Amino acid sequence: MSTVAPVPGAIPAPGRDARAIVQPWWLRLFHWINVIAVLALIFSGWRIYDASPIFPFKFPKDITLGGWLGGALLWHFAAMWLLFANGIAYLLCNLVTGRMKARFFPLYPRDVAVDLLAALRGHLAHDDLRRYNAVQKLAYLGAIVLLIVLVLSGLAIGKSVQLPLLRELMGGFDNARIVHFLAMAGLVFFIVVHVVMVALVPRTLLVMIRGR
């Protein structure tokens, strides 16, 4: 009897193997590096923001990173390059293995609406962790877009003289700061919702730690 080799990135059928790998090692590695980089970026970014606020409020110093503006900038740029390198590796591995297509597509607006309504009613099932529902697909893809916008707008701010075209594409230095802040706010909102969902479905955390 012949056997068929598994297709890279394909998702095993539910119940076929209780110990099947749900999240490969490289994905878990990139995920946790991403967590460290993003948290360092957010908390150091709040300290940088406080040095020259865009809006009429500041973040409490106790929840910022860096201690002072110079220290915050060092943390911020170090975390940004870590996020950039990690993000490139993440996207390449997802594309090469076929995981990106298998996990995130197809994605239809009708499915998002149906799953979102089910989630709001508390009826959205998470029986098979090897498959993302439409809301998860949209959220994760949205987070990737936000991270890309954060890196590009951050470069437009931090390297404004060296990258004038990118700065102008962002609408100028001041508008780049606003874009950067709004993308950060969107990412923080995603993180809060993500943590709440993990608390409601703790198996997802175990899968991201041990893979199975």
* Confidence label for 196 from pLDDT (cuts 50, 70 and 90): confident
What is the rounded CA–CA span in Å between residue 124 and residue 133? 9
* CATH of range 25-52+65-210; options 3.90.1150.10, 1.20.950.20, 3.30.70.360, 1.10.260.40: 1.20.950.20
**Buried/exposed code over 73-83 (b: 16+ C-beta within 10 A; e: otherwise):** bebbeebbebb
What is the rounded CA–CA span in Å between residue 88 and residue 122? 35
Amino acid identity of 80? Answer: M
What is the rounded CA–CA span in Å between residue 168 and residue 133? 38
Does the global pTM surpass 0.85?
A: no
Q: Which residues contact 84 (CB under 8 A, 6 or more apart)?
A: 151
- Mean pLDDT score across all residues of the chain: 82
Reported as a single tens digit per residue, the pLDDT across 126-140 is: 666 667 778 888 888
The predicted model gives 6-17 an average pLDDT of 44
| Half-sphere exposure for 163 (CA within 13 Å, toward CB) | 17
